[in-house]
Amino acid sequence: MPGQQAQNPNEIANPQTGQLPQVKGPEMNDRDFLNDGLATCKLLTDNFNVAVREASHEQLHTDMLQILTETHQSARDLFNLMFQNGWYKLEAEEQQKLQQAQQQFSGYSSQFPYQ
């Protein structure tokens, strides 16, 4: 069909919901807000992970660990909502590449100091 892109057989996605503009202006739509929230959560979890690991005060460590966990959950919730609406796509890896990676890394277990 003219104007349609070829569908990737390894693509994992839901059909897009809602009406997104064909030509995007400077205003943010629902997908933009969710994408911004997800990017923010990813940045926060990266930084909170460092802060939690380096916190010397026990209560501060506990509080930041709780915030880190909640922020990871928020990121997961945003991802799920975007995926559900067809605004986040994944690509399945070929089975042969998965098997190669599994073989490569399973060989490393022989190097562990404790079996």
Evaluate if pTM is beyond 0.85: no
Which residues sit opposite 12 in a β-bridge? Answer: 90
pLDDT of residue 51: 97
pLDDT of residue 1: 41
Instruction: For residue 4, name the pLDDT band (cuts at 50, 70, 90).
Output: very low
CA angle 76, 11, 45 (to 5 degrees): 20
Residue range 13-42, pLDDT digits in tens: 788 876 665 667 788 888 999 999 999 999
Long-range contacts of 17-22 (CB under 8 A, 24+ apart): 17/84, 17/85, 17/86, 18/85
Side-chain half-sphere of 4: how many Cα atoms within 13 Å?
5
Q: For helices 58-84 and 30-54, what crossing angle results, to 10°?
A: 160
pLDDT of residue 56: 96
Quick check: 17 and 30 in contact, CB under 8 A? Answer: no
Residue range 63-90, pLDDT digits in tens: 999 999 999 999 999 999 999 998 988 8
Q: Give the separation between CA 6 and CA 93, rounded to whole angstroms.
A: 18
